[in-house]
Structure formats: C-alpha cells, structure tokens
Structure 1
Amino acid sequence: ANQPTVPTVGNASTIYTQGFGGSQTSINTGFYLLGAPTCASLTASAGTFPFNATATVVNNCNISATNLNFAATGVLSSALNATASITAQCTNGDAYRIALNGGTNGTVAARQMTRTGGGGTVNYQLYVDAGLTTTWGDGTAGTTQATGTGTGNSQALTVYGVVPAQNTPAPGTYTDTITATISF
C-alpha cells in the first residue's frame, strides 16, 4: 500500500523483475546449545546464492458512480441541469474508455425517465462536456465514449445531465437506470 503507481506496457500485464547475484546475498549461520547468538555475531558466510524477485502489474480498472438527481420542479418550461461523477481507477499508463447505455427506457440518442407506477415519461440526455455538445453514450447514434489514461489513482469524470423544456407530464417521481461500462 501507498507505493508509487507503476506503469504497464502496451495496455497489458507487465512483469517486473530484479535479479540479485551471489555477491549481493549470503547465508550466515551459527550453532548454539543453550543461548542463541546475536545476529551481529554471525559474520562468517556459509555461502552465497543468486535469486530473482518478480511482481506482475495487472492491467486492471475499477469503476464507481454517483446518482444524477435533477431538482424537483412543477413545470418543465425551462431546462433542468444536474451533474454526477463516474470514478475510474486504472493501472498507471493504461488507456480506458467508458460507455453509457441508453438506460432502461430509451436509447443513447433519446433517453427517457419513466414515472414510478407508470403513466408518463420525461426526456433527458447525458453529456461528456459542460458545454452540452457531446452526447455520452456507447459510440453509436452520434454519441461518444469518455476516454482517459490511468494513473493508478482515482480519476473522477463529470456526467452532465439535462432535462430539456418539454410538455410537463403527470406529477410523480421519474427514474431511469444507466449502465456504465469501462473497457481497457
């Protein structure tokens, strides 16, 4: 824990190896009957030996997200904006991309929240950028995926959500479930 992050090479698991030769290692031994000798008194080498230490850094990513909650409103006569975050923690040097699906009720190009208990929908969209010009999806229907390069530390990406002005549906709670998929 708390070591500097190490890079992988070519987005693949990478093996790090350090060799130690016989001049760098030795075995010191001592025999005793009643009282153990101190380590400092074991100065005579009983032999040397080479060995290798290896560690494999695995190409890996973890992902988590917060909920996107639009403010309560009575009439949808103007746009509602909200943000959430998706946090990716990927191995240092590994490229990744995050796709968002169309949700339970719509498509990546036309997302919809449905009223709990049925009977209405609210249109909304998710974006990669604060300017709300690039729709965050799965790369289809004119959408894009968020991309990045891992640092070994957590990296937060902002999800920008908008409910555009539209005909106001019946009062209630409207929800949708989006699945985020990270590829690396």
Structure 2
Amino acid sequence: MMPLWMKLFCTTAIGLFSMNALAATATSNFQVQATVSASCNIAANPLTFATPYDPTVGTQVDGQTTLDVTCTSATNYTVALNEGLGAGATVTTRKMTSGANTLDYTLFREAGRTSIWGTTTPTETVAGTGTGAAQTLPVYGRILSGQTSVPAGTYTDTVTATITF
C-alpha cells in the first residue's frame, strides 16, 4: 500500500503531465511598417556689417552670417538666396535701402567672395546632403566699393533663403 503523500504526489504529477500534454501553441507573424518623410528646415541669421561703410573712402566692407539647415538623413538639398527687396536688385548686385537711397552689396558662397549666391541651380546655389543634425552654411557678404555718393543712414534689405529637397 502506498503512503498518502506518495498518492498525492503521483496524482499531482500525472495531472501536470496531462495538462502539459493538452497545452498547445500557435504563432502568427505580422509586419511592422513606417514611412520616414524627407524633410528640411532652414533658419537664417541676420547679416550685420560690423564696419560702417565710409563713402568718402569708398572701399568695400565685408561681413558674414550663417544659415542653419536641418534635413532628414541622406536627403539631398539645395539652398538658394533671392535678390532681396531693393528695387532693381539682382543676385549679383543686391540693394539695401534707406528711404529712396540704396547701398549695393553682394552675397557669396565662399570666403574668397568670387562665387555669388543666387537662385540658378547649380551655378549659384549650395547643395548638400542631410545628416539628421543641424548643418551650418556660411554666407559671405560684401558692400561694393566705389559708392561715394551714398548719404549717411541705416540701410536694410530682406533676402529670402529657400531650401529645395
């Protein structure tokens, strides 16, 4: 005759084996999908010429600013700068104004100030590829020399930076 504890153990063990024998599983897979959009943002910083232009001397004055570009990783982009708001301005000769008076200047893509920054792709624009992080693009400005009849005043212009991606 079996002791009671052994009977209980055997009964429990058989029950567990029976439950395991009855347990079954099934699986199914599902796909997970997301779309990452190509995206770019651009922020322009002001360009203030630190040295005042002296029309009695008429020599050029240089200045510099930056554009901050953030694009989705591996997104190709192109940045263009328009001619500004000065009447008669072009990308080669932009015009800051003070009332009816103008002060001519140019914006360049490189420190040597030989390649203008305008709107014609690819000869006047800056191209790049996004990294997902902010990228800084320098903008080099120059007030053109020889403007000896410019009256004193504060001259301003607004240039629009456009990013295409």
Q: Same fold (TM over 0.5)?
A: yes
1:111/1:98 Cα in 2 relative to 1: closer, same or farther (>3 Å)? same
Report the Cα distance in structure 1 between the residues aligned to 2:24 and 2:154, rounded to whole angstroms.
77
Equivalent residue runs for 1:19-34 within 5 Å: none
Q: Which residue of 1 aligns with 2:52?
A: 73
Q: Secondary structure at the match of 2:135?
A: strand
Do the aligned partners of 2:53 and 2:143 also contact (CA within 8 Å) in 1? Answer: no
Does the alignment pair 1:125 with 2:92?
A: no
Greater shift after overlay, 98-107 or 166-175? 166-175
- CA–CA separation in structure 2 for the residues paired with 1:65 and 1:182: 11
Q: State, as a whole percentage, how many aligned pairs show the same letter.
A: 42
Aligned length: 138
Contact 1:109 1:143 in 2 (8 A): no
Q: What secondary structure sits across from 2:32 in the alignment?
A: strand
Q: How far apart are residue 50 of structure 1 and its match?
A: 1.2
| Alignment partner of 1:84 is 2:68 | no
Q: Shift in Å at residue 169 of structure 1? A: 1.3
| Alpha-carbon shift at residue 51 of structure 1 (Å) | 1.5
Equivalent pair of 1:99/1:180 in contact (CA under 8 Å): yes
Structure 1: gaps (5+ residues): 1-43
Decide which of 59, 72, 92 is 1:109's aligned counterpart: 92
Whether the 8 Å contact between 1:63 and 1:182 is mirrored in structure 2 is yes
- Secondary structure of the 1:137 match is coil
Structure 1: distance between partners of 2:38 and 2:73:
9
Instruction: Tell me, in whole angstroms, the C-alpha distance in 1 between the residues paired with 2:160 and 2:60.
Output: 24
**More strand per residue:** 1
Moved over 6 A (4+): none
3-state SS in 2 of match to 1:55:
coil
* Residue aligning to 2:19: none
Contact 1:75 1:168 in 2 (8 A): no
2:30 corresponds to 1:51: yes
2:124 alignment partner in structure 1: 144
Bigger helix share = 2
Does the residue aligned with 1:174 lie in a helix, a strand or coil?
coil
Greater shift, 166-175 or 126-135, is seen at: 166-175
* Larger Cα-atom Rg: 2
Q: Unpaired segments of 5 or more residues in structure 2? A: 1-22
